[in-house]
Amino acid sequence: ETGVTQSPTHLIKTRGQQVTLRCSSQSGHNTVSWYQQALGQGPQFIFQYYREEENGRGNFPPRFSGLQFPNYSSELNVNALELDDSALYLCASSFNRHDTQYFGPGTRLTVL
Amino acid sequence: GESVGLHLPTLSVQEGDNSIINCAYSNSASDYFIWYKQESGKGPQFIIDIRSNMDKRQGQRVTVLLNKTVKHLSLQIAATQPGDSAVYFCAEKNLGNSGGSNYKLTFGKGTLLTVNP
């Protein structure tokens, strides 16, 4: 059974650019949640996708958007990058909306 | 509002000792709690969870205790090993908040556990 995978591992962008991060959910899981983890902090919820629809959103601006595909993989898009967007972006998948969330290794985004 | 915090930012123990990591929560409606372990450069790894209708749950070398009266939970690690060194997070969720925020986990800042050989 393959766990949650994320790509790329690391990414460096400049302020104002756009970025797309990708996540493949664990086999059999239909729900993907995205979190932002700043250095020294706990993960902060961005949004969740369940069966290709957004199922809930945290306190993040609209320039953070996402998609979920028929195979339940997901993308996180961030437009107009700001310096404070530098963080570890974590994807977690679960069997269903309310089940245990299993995390991927994360994508380290640095905005210069 | 929801918030999950930890009492100590760091904890240092000797190999073989038992470790206790504490967590307080403020949302009395929270009914599901999870402990995650995060090693440097990795994503959080699920350790154990507990629902609010339980006071205690045991896993392999780990025990989680939940005290709903004082809104406190703890993670006990028996015979701590160097491989247990990591940041430990408690997270909470409100499973019953239909139409609200029952989809997300709320994390605290974490406790850094260091195991000395």
Q: What are phi and psi of A10, to 5 degrees?
A: -135, 155
Residues of A in contact with B42 (CB under 8 A): 105-106
CA distance A69 to chain B (A): 19
Pick from A98, A102, A104: which is nearest to B102 by CB? Answer: A98
- Give the residue from chain A lying closest to B44, CA to CA: A103
Of A35, A45, A102, the CB nearest to B46: A102
pLDDT at B21: 95
Query: What φ, ψ does residue B102 adopt, rounded to 5°?
Result: -80, 10
Distance CA B24, CA B72 (A): 4
Reading chain B (117 residues) residue by residue, the pLDDT tens digits are 345 654 558 999 999 999 999 999 888 888 899 999 999 989 999 999 999 999 999 999 999 999 999 999 999 999 999 999 999 999 998 765 555 556 789 998 899 999 999
HSE-CB of B10 using CA atoms within 13 angstroms = 4
| pLDDT tens for each residue of A83-109 | 999 999 999 999 988 889 999 999 999
* pLDDT in the model for residue B8: 56
Q: In this complex, do B108 and A90 lie within 8 Å of one another by their Cβ atoms?
A: no
| Spans of chain A below 50 pLDDT | none
The set of residues, in sequence order, having a beta carbon less than 8 Å from that of B47 and lying 6+ positions away, is B34, B35, B36, B37, B59, B62, B75, B88
- Please give the pLDDT value at position A85: 98
Check the CA dihedral A35-A107-A17-A39 and report its sign: positive
- Tokens (6 digits) for B37: 């372990």
Which of A30, A47, A98 to mutate against chain B (most B CBs within 10 Å)? A98
**Which residue of chain A is at minimal alpha-carbon distance from B108?**
A42
